[in-house]
Amino acid sequence: MNLFNSALGKNITFVRPAYFIISGFSGIPNIDYYYVFLCFVYIVSVLGNTVVMAVIYLDHNLRTPKYIAVFNLAFVDLLGSSALVPKLLDIFLFNHRYISYNDCLTFLFFCYTCLSMQVFNLVALSYDRLIAIMHPLHYQVKVTHRFMLSLIAFFWVFANTLNFVAVGLLTRLSFCRSVAINSYFCDHGQIYRLACNDNFPNYVISCLFPVLIFWLPFIFILLSYLYIGCTLAKVATVQEGLKAFRTCTAHLSLVAIYFIPVLITFTLMEKINPNARIMNLSLTSILPPTLNPIIYVLQTQEIKKSVKKLLKIRRKSKMIKKCTPNMTHSL
């Protein structure tokens, strides 16, 4: 991180605290039940995303460009939940609100990277549906395994670079007043506002973050589905249009689950209660990784068929194992 400090061209001593304090909710009775709920949600998230990843890996028919993005989404959801929830429970349920300076920046990096990749995966899936519906004859040529892997790799590099810069710029801040972070995790916006020296570069990053990892992806997804809807309305019958749009229902559900709570929070940022803001953002970080695998299993025919096929194969293998000892005994 010295790269960011030396870039200033001055020999400056930065005052870095030994720890930060995560304040979290304030004045809410029996809030421990909420953390128990988060623990339950986390377990469901781990199981659900592991199942989706296992099904895609085991079924060769699902090794298509679309399911490369779905696999990556499940992986990011699993990684993001594991980076956030166990630490969240440790901080609040076991009252370990003091977090060291380096651990806090690491916590921030992983949380923001996973949140960014959740959005970018939705962009990749949106592009996949756009080409599949609008250019079905050219889909195999335009959306190849190589293209999807390259797109996801680019998103990973972009998300890591952006968050590395954000964390690096935090290391040039001095904290000589409060070290209490008014959030449920090491939130970038809450940290840089505690600094007592120039935090303008951090302010610029905080303005770029919503644009690059929220508004631009959201606008792209919105425009892609508006284009799909308008085109289908012109060239297809109602039944054909509905049939084509049904292939998008799972993805649209994921988009709604992720973006609606964030839109509400951003719209009511000045009016919303701090506890309500923390509650809304924490649920936005935790519920989508839990609901994503459930939605894909329930609304995607390919995964339904794959799960049924894998269960049949498992039952057959169990029956063969049971029959084999009996046959050898009779012989």
Closest to 142 (Cα-Cα) out of 130, 152, 154: 130
Judged by average pLDDT, the poorest of 14-23, 50-59, 71-80, 273-282 is 273-282
pLDDT at 193 over 50: yes
pLDDT at 146 over 90: yes
Sorted by sequence, the CB contacts under 8 Å of residue 225 that are 6+ apart come out as 126, 248, 252
Sorted by sequence, the CB contacts under 8 Å of residue 255 that are 6+ apart come out as 122, 126, 221
User: What pLDDT shows up at residue 160?
Assistant: 97
C-alpha count within 13 angstroms, C-beta hemisphere, residue 101 = 14
pLDDT tier at 83 (50, 70, 90 boundaries)?
Answer: very high
Q: How far out from the chain centre does Cα 277 lie?
A: 18
Closest to 53 (Cα-Cα) out of 314, 317, 310: 310
User: What pLDDT shows up at residue 314?
Assistant: 67
User: What pLDDT shows up at residue 121?
Assistant: 94
pLDDT at 9 over 60: no
Mean pLDDT over each residue of the chain, to the nearest integer: 85
How many other CB atoms sit within 10 Å of the CB of residue 304? 13
Q: How far out from the chain centre does Cα 145 lie?
A: 22
Coil vs helix vs strand at 100: strand
User: What pLDDT shows up at residue 7?
Assistant: 44
Q: What CA–CA distance (Å, rounded) separates 249 from 237?
A: 18
In the chain, % of residues over pLDDT 70: 85
pLDDT at 283 over 90: no
Which structure tokens are listed for 5?
Answer: 């400090």
pLDDT tens readout for residues 220-269: 999 998 988 888 777 767 677 677 667 677 778 888 888 887 777 666 66
User: What pLDDT shows up at residue 302?
Assistant: 77
Coil vs helix vs strand at 207: helix
Q: What is the pTM of this model?
A: 0.87
Q: What CA–CA distance (Å, rounded) separates 90 from 157?
A: 30
